[in-house]
A and B are shown apart, each in its own frame.
Chain A
Amino acid sequence: MAERSFIDEVAQLRLGEGQTFTGEGILAITKALLENGVGYVGGYQGAPISHLMDVLADAEELMAELGIRFEANASEAAAAAMLAASVHYPIRGAITFKGAVGVNVASDALANLASSGVRGGALVIVGEDYGEGSSIMQERSHPFAMKSQFWLMDPRPNLPSIVKAVGDGFELSEASNTPVMLMVRIRSCHVTGRFATRVNRRPPLTVREALANPQRDFARVVLPPMSYVHEQEKVKHRWPAAERFIAARGLNERFGPAAGRVGIVLQGGMYNGVVRALQRLGLADLHGGTAVPLYVLNVTYPLLASEFLAWAEGKKAVLVVEEGQPEFIEQQLAAFLYRADAQVRLHGKGVFPMAGEYTGQVMFDAVTAFLRQAAPELLPAAARAPNTPGPAIPDLSRTVPVRPPGFCTGCPERPIFAAMKLVENDLGRHQISADIGCHLFGALPPFEIGGQTMGYGLGPASNAAFDGGGARRAVSFIGDGGFWHNGLTSSVGNMVFNKADTLTIVVDNHYSAATGGQDILSSRAASATKSTRHPIAKAVKGIGVSWVRQVDRTYDVARLRDTIREALTTPRKGPKVIVASSECMLNRERREKPLRLKAIAEGRRIEAPRFGVDEDVCTGDHACMRLSGCPSLGLKRLDDPLRDDPVAHVDRSCVGCGNCGEIAEAAVLCPSFYEARVVHNPGGWERRLAGWRARVRGWLASRRARRRLDFGATA
């Protein structure tokens, strides 16, 4: 069960001809796929297209009605490989994954696909995760399109443009027998808006029907001599066909006056940012009508020399707006101008920073700088002269703390890292590698565990150099998502085969949690459409690990600590794997809270646990914080001049996971934590027992109170 359900929104996917869709970008993409007769879809979750996978999963019923096959693929590579169906069959296929990491993982299949070429339109929808909010290394998907030669679309970030790009992409793919990559940026995926819908189309040939008539064409197999032929085909036939299609259909757009001494070339995705900068300079109106000519590249690869040169002709200077680096587009346009012997000054990186997101401020500053150099007469007086300084706003950079993402309230991964920290306090620092997933937050304070992340499912593999052992065993973390993505073979298989003397801790929270709680092979819940409940421990044993420990309640910090300690100190050689399992609290609460409330309303007996702190017992040393970092565990300043430091305080968001009590016990912290369990709808006997207990306590407490002075609550 994914974190977010799109069941309600999916109703909009059934809209017919000329109706209005209102919603998010990813839903619009799904609707566009259905309108364009897609035959099969697949992908692998990851921001910013996780929700696209969730939408597709929630729309599975609708897709089945249309004869469309949906796969939640095992990895991006598996998703890309699925596009093989479009090599021999005239069936449109679409897959989606997160940019940069997705193309890295899928590059093998993508390269082969691009070599074979396609008959049916093949669309790779890439969520380009770049800039603020991005969780990966800052790279571009662009060079993958260039190296394998599939075409790259980067539509303007509004719903009608994105929807149109889906249809254009399929047609471009078919017209040039080449797969097309459709890039949507992080904010375009979640941008809201409206577009006029068309009726959903059943694929002319479904994958089910195709199986009745299998096809095979040796010319499409990537083997010499055919692979040599493919290379020639790419440049002699497919590329020119693509250029013809792009030009004939006008996929790239031109705005503003035809004449003009300066102009701006931009990636489609940059359009709104550029227009906003022009609006602020008084050079564009509300609807994007502009005084500066714009050449909008909705297709950023291949670039069309003739189209660009025709637009640039007569211009003195042109600004290239290309986010990220290296600046492939700018280099290509410069080559076009040079070869044409054109006297157009090209600006780009220079007025723009080489690296980093083109934020509103960056865009405004760069467009202003370009115009100041190339066409100062266009600028309003205010932009020509330096601004008058406003009132000085105090500098808060030393006050405001950084707030990176971290483990949620009650997260079952927190106690795993608390246990690891306790073991390290005891045995010393270890070489520890991390993986991709929520558990990577263990690298941040307060735990600071794990030094490198080499990729999804590669945590243990990134410790391979230390497989031979040494003074202390190397430790690696891997999540259940990464484990099934490719960790079982690339990491655990690697450990077994090379007789690694290292420890791998599998953080099993029953979902691909960091990407939004999608089901995976080892998910514990039954699923109607997917096969779940395949234990990780069984897979690990199957691949040849004999030292395997399953810990089924990660909140048992002492047990985890002892298990990790055993793995690191046992004289037994060979790979060791600890599977630490507890359900993702975010998913668990989402599922169980409504049930709990319903049960309480129905009068059934429910225990609701929450933690608390005795303020007068807490000394304010914050040792518990350094083993927790839970959002619900905060600090409170006491109204007592005798106390210097704030004390621990548990707020109402506590879900009673037990970590506070467990670490207090395992690390021998202070006895100020208590667990309070409110019993809703207790039985009559239970109420009577509680009453009797209260009387005993009251009698004892008041007996003592009579013999001493009572200073009230705070003393």
Chain B
Amino acid sequence: MTALPAPAPRDPALDGIIKLAVMAVGGQGGGVLTGWIEAVARAGGHAVQATSVAGVSQRTGATIYYIEMAPDSGRPPVFALMPAAGDVDILIAAEMMEAGRAIMRGFVTPDRTTLIASTHRALAVSEKIVPGDGIADAAEVQAAAGVAARRLVMFDMERVAADAGSVISAALLGALAGSDALAFPRAAYEDAIRAGGKGVAGSLAAFARAFEMAAQGPAPAAPAAPPPAATAAPAGPRGAPGLLRAWERLAAEAAALPAPVAEMAARGLAKVVDFQDLAYGREYLDRLHAVVARDGDAQGWELSREAAKYIANAMAYDDVIRVADLKTRPGRMARIAAEMGLAEGQVLQVTEYMHPRAEEIVGLLPARTGAFLARRPRAMRLIGRLFGRGRRLRSDGAMAFGLLWLLGGLRGWRRRTLRHRHEQEHLDRWLHGALAELPGDYALAVEVLRNRRLIKGYSDTHARGLSKFDRVTAGIALVRGRPDAADWARRLREAALKDEAGAALDGALATVRSFAAPPAGGPG
């Protein structure tokens, strides 16, 4: 039997290996960034090895690039071809959820990893297709990064790049250089960019800005997505003195509401007045007062606050008149021009994609005439054939703009339309339904108000929303009277917002039916 070799002392040169992984979304230029880093390290007297997984995975999917380097001693080192959990020194994440993925995979550890991550989001398809709000919580990733990383360099590198007219790879390189995680001089990075030869000026500008931001050290950790609440109430409107005086009276009335309600009421009031007119604002406040009168301080005016929000949304429904009005507002072209980065001497052409259906046309007619036609399928088909087809309107042109402008001017006519009657009826049913819960179950009344969120979109989407609203309403009838009725109402609504077809809602309804008896009639 041969003698046992004693455990050899660990090779101190191993500590010289720097392991760097780049996690990106396909198309972000991870390959270019890898090439730059490799060039910098080689110029800095290091032996370097880079690998990647190219191919189909680059098509907008999550991708990973991996680099190892060590001071060049003349003898080739043996480098690994992929990162290992707990064994990464620098992790560059080109997007917030990719940073999250890196943390999940164990590539970011408190003992060694410098995490350089851009806080911007490139949404995954699964986040976008949810009918409600499916956006993943970046704050959770941010919190995890704070625990997992030894050092954190985090800011919106996509914005830095865009502001410099460049792409994110240059900003990521700047953040890496500025973080000083690698001991190479700034000039070496800039030389690598210059040697690349493409979009050099923009890349250098993005590099420089990101370098400074990273070098400044840990920025005050701003929450990744500030909650959209608690913003200042909008400034008052502008307009003719007579209109303004009438507005001030309404606004004062809204401001006089209990404090938790007042701010939402101010916004709601502005929304419905903008949608129609001051008289419509009066109706809004009347509806709201009716709710406030039955509410109290005991529950913090939650019911009234939700009513202020959802009554406004219900009153400012989406019809042809509103769309045409919004598309012919004075500031719109300037806003589009700014968004498109229109420069002096350039011309902007804007095409609108409109598709009115027979329902929209008939909805514009006087309520009785409209209802008469809506009951006749043959008439509806004829109207559909005559008017209901895709129309592309060049709204920068005088004719198309004029047409939209005329449609937008039908606001005065709106109250007589079939659509308006439908909307008013639905609104009243919904609001009464909510208030009917009040004597027995305050929390349930609040949830019924919130169900208004389910109704949105146009045509088929709108119809699906209405159907979900009805199914949730029917589901609520099953749980009414139970102590957890409000909780179930919330769960049903959240399920309805999860997928288009309503599969999650069907599941939730099946659960409700499994334990709830058939409805025992309306509330007392």
Contacts and interface: CB of A to CB of B under 8 A. Distances in A.
B433 interface: no
A334 B121 CA distance: 52
Contacts, number: 443
Interface string B326-354: 11111111011001111001111111111
Contact of A670 (B57, B141, B457): B457
Most buried by B among A160, A284, A407, A671: A671
26 contacts: A50-B55, A192-B48, A260-B2, A287-B78, A390-B109, A400-B100, A623-B460, A633-B128, A634-B123, A640-B267, A641-B229, A641-B309, A644-B453, A645-B497, A671-B353, A671-B355, A682-B345, A687-B347, A693-B401, A697-B328, A698-B330, A701-B328, A704-B328, A706-B240, A709-B244, A714-B234
B219 interface: no
B225 interface: yes
A279 B14 contact: yes
Contacts of B64: 132-133
B125 A191 contact: no
A399 B398 CA distance: 49
B133 A644 contact: yes
Most buried by A among B81, B101, B345: B81
Contacts of A637: 135, 225, 228
A299 B130 CA distance: 52
Contact of B51 (A187, A406, A622): A187
A514 B56 contact: yes
Interface string B364-403: 0000000000000000000000000010100111100110
Contacts of A696: 398, 401-402
A678 B103 contact: no
B53 A678 contact: no
B125 A646 contact: no
Interface stretch (B143-151, B181-189, B284-292, B414-422): B143-151
Given A279-B14, A406-B61, A438-B59, A686 B347 contact: yes
B26 interface: yes
Interface stretch (B5-13, B253-261, B470-478, B503-511): B5-13
Contact of A405 (B60, B274, B330): B60
Nearest to B397: A693
Interface string A377-398: 1111000000000111110110
Contact of B56 (A135, A375, A712): A135
Interface in A619-639: 619-623, 625-626, 629, 631, 633-635, 637-639
Q: Which 8 A-B pairs have the closest CB atoms?
A: A360-B84, A47-B55, A133-B53, A405-B61, A621-B457, A285-B11, A665-B390, A715-B274
Contacts of B351: 661, 674-675, 677
Interface stretch (B69-77, B170-178, B202-210, B514-522): B69-77
Nearest to A704: B409
Contacts of A280: 84, 87
B453 to A, nearest CB: 5
Contacts of A409: 27, 60
Interface in A260-280: 260-261, 271-273, 275-276, 279-280
A249 interface: no
A48 interface: yes
B339 A612 contact: yes
A291 B4 CA distance: 11
Contacts of B3: 259
B456 interface: yes
A498 interface: no
Interface residues of A, number: 148
Interface in A383-433: 390-394, 396-397, 399-409
Contacts of B106: 361
A656 to B, nearest CB: 10
Nearest to B317: A619
B29 to A, nearest CB: 12
A625 B58 contact: no
| Chain B interface category by residue count | 35 or more
A51 interface: yes
A482 B339 CA distance: 41
Contacts of B63: 133
Given A273-B80, A390-B110, A679 B104 contact: no
Given A637-B228, A711-B273, 13 more contacts: A47-B55, A133-B64, A393-B144, A397-B104, A645-B133, A669-B355, A670-B318, A679-B349, A693-B401, A696-B402, A697-B396, A707-B240, A709-B239
Contacts of A670: 318, 457-458, 461
A394 B351 CA distance: 47
A645 B125 contact: no
Contacts of A693: 396-398, 401
Given A360-B87, A667-B460, A403 B78 contact: no
B7 A282 contact: yes
B313 A642 contact: yes
Contacts of A147: none
B363 interface: no
A446 B349 contact: no
A391 B456 contact: no
A68 B234 CA distance: 74
Interface string A287-303: 11101000000000000
Most buried by A among B128, B131, B141, B312: B128
Nearest to B133: A645
A712 B8 contact: no
A47 B239 contact: no
B299 interface: no
B2 to A, nearest CB: 4
Contacts of A525: none
Contacts of B128: 446, 622, 625, 629, 633-635
A393 B326 contact: no
Contacts of A50: 54-55
A713 interface: yes
Nearest to B328: A701
A677 B348 contact: yes
Contacts of A406: 59-61, 125
Most buried by B among A379, A633, A639, A644: A644
Contacts of A680: 346
A359 B461 CA distance: 46
A445 B124 CA distance: 10
A192 B131 contact: no
B53 A132 contact: yes
A610 interface: yes
B232 to A, nearest CB: 10
A357 B463 CA distance: 48
A544 interface: no
Nearest to B126: A401
A193 interface: yes
A394 to B, nearest CB: 4
B412 to A, nearest CB: 10
B282 to A, nearest CB: 14
Given A286-B70, A687-B347, A696-B398, A401 B124 contact: yes
B162 A617 contact: no
Contact of B53 (A160, A187, A286, A677): A187
Given A133-B55, A257-B5, A676-B340, A694 B135 contact: no
Nearest to A710: B238
Contacts of A679: 346-349
Contact of B100 (A135, A271, A396, A441): A396
Contacts of A158: 49, 76, 78
B215 interface: no
B279 to A, nearest CB: 13
B10 A282 contact: yes
A514 B56 CA distance: 6
A264 to B, nearest CB: 14
B355 A664 contact: yes
A483 interface: no
Contacts of B336: 612, 674, 676
Interface string A93-135: 0000000000000000000000000000000000001001101
